[in-house]
Chains A and B, each alone.
Chain A
Amino acid sequence: MSEPSKQDIHAYLEELEDIPGTRVFTAARARKGYWLNQFCMTLMKADNRERFRADERAYLDEWPMTEAQKQAVLKRDYNAALDEGGNIYFLAKVFFTDEISFLQAVGTMTGMSPADYQAMMLAGGRSPVGVRSKKDPY
């Protein structure tokens, strides 16, 4: 058995914030987004999806979410939802409720048009060159 790593948790967490255009789902984000993410889970039931579709605002008001979290959902602003502690696998319940695909939803976060995003993927995706680090791009 090899030696277990002795990772400094503070250094570990600091590095996770160094990636451009990326919100790693840390404990701090998980705490902030608890009710946003738990609201998303309720959309795993068809009855709830119907109630949400019928009156999104009223449905959101049933959960102790912040106004910023509710606005992010109402506007389908997934970058804002990530900033409010949302996690993409939870938020997926919202865009599946909207009957749009991962490809369509993910593209909305990049600032690219759906066609341009799809074309980028077909051409091999986004290169990691230059987007590996905020502090020291390479």
Chain B
Amino acid sequence: MARITAGVASSHIPALGASIDNGKTAEPYWASCFAGFDWTRAWEAAQKPDVVILVFNDHASAFDMNIIPTFAIGCGERYASADEGWGPRPVPDVIGDPDLAWHIAQSCILDEFDMTIVNTMDVDHGLTVPLSLMFGQPEAWPCKVVPLAVNVVTYPPPTGNRCYALGEAIARAVASYPEDLNVQIWGTGGMSHQLQGPRAGLINAEWDQRFLDDLTADPQRLRHIPHIEYLRETGSEGIELVMWLIMRGALGAGVKELHRHYHVPASNTAVGHIVLEPTD
């Protein structure tokens, strides 16, 4: 049977991808930020997941103003890197797992989550930067990926509570998949940042650290944080943290924190990163 063995969360800042692609990770500005991912790269090399369910938000790349799905699951064979305006990132194509993805889609729909099925899309930095952070620069990504895109751009995005419950439904779907697979779930994006307007540059390290604490200590509190609190406390793009709650919901009641990293700033944002293991 397939099983979810770990949850990983990380910010997915485009400048991190550009830094990796241009060989700048050792520069003073970036070195301490990237050092926080060294532990995870070594751990992932040992874990060898078969599949990563990668929760991310599309940044107006695959989805424009014509189609705005709240939850979209990639059921395709492969996904190319998107051209976001400076050419596609020079990273391998992302290989999907259509059988598992369709299984999750069907199971979640019967579980009353109205998933949008996507077979063709290019994937932007929201998906490819976390892969680079956790796996480095291989010739091919070492595992299959099921992309799960969440609308956090056009309001309202889903509530944190809904996201957490979707994670629980994904866990049920994975547990009912007959193939013996080591599956991880990643929640990406987030931590405090605001990319727009006179209030741009907002960082709330205290709030961020409490969110990281409560992924293990009090996840039930996190699922009831209203959108307005993310906006006031963590900036307009801090709303991306609801995606971490899909990851957390999929891990079950108890988790152990294996690794944590927090760094300010990378470009305009706080970098948060955590690795969790289910304990029951």
Contacts and interface: CB of A to CB of B under 8 A. Distances in A.
B60 A37 contact: yes
A75 interface: no
A25 B236 CA distance: 9
A103 B267 contact: yes
A40 B60 contact: yes
B29 to A, nearest CB: 9
**On chain A, which size bracket covers the interface?**
35 or more
Contacts of B60: 37, 40-41, 87, 89-90, 92-93
- Give chain B's interface secondary structure class: loop
Given A19-B232, A92-B59, A125 B14 contact: no
Contacts of A15: 228
Interface in B161-204: 161-162, 165, 192, 194-204
A19 B59 contact: no
Contact of B202 (A2, A37, A131): A131
B85 A44 contact: yes
A133 B233 CA distance: 10
Contact residues on B (Cβ < 8 Å of other chain), bracket: 35 or more
A101 interface: yes
B231 interface: yes
Contact of A30 (B65, B195, B231, B234): B65
Given A5-B159, A22-B196, A44-B85, A102 B231 contact: no
A58 interface: no
Contacts of A44: 61, 82-85
B265 interface: yes
A82 interface: yes
B165 to A, nearest CB: 6
A78 B145 CA distance: 35
A1 to B, nearest CB: 6
Interface in A63-118: 78-79, 82, 87-90, 92-97, 99, 101-103, 106-107, 109-111, 117
Interface of A: 1-2, 4-5, 12, 15-16, 18-27, 30, 34, 37-38, 40-41, 43-46, 49, 78-79, 82, 87-90, 92-97, 99, 101-103, 106-107, 109-111, 117, 120-122, 124-128, 131-133
9 contacts: A21-B197, A40-B60, A41-B64, A43-B85, A89-B153, A96-B85, A110-B197, A125-B264, A125-B268
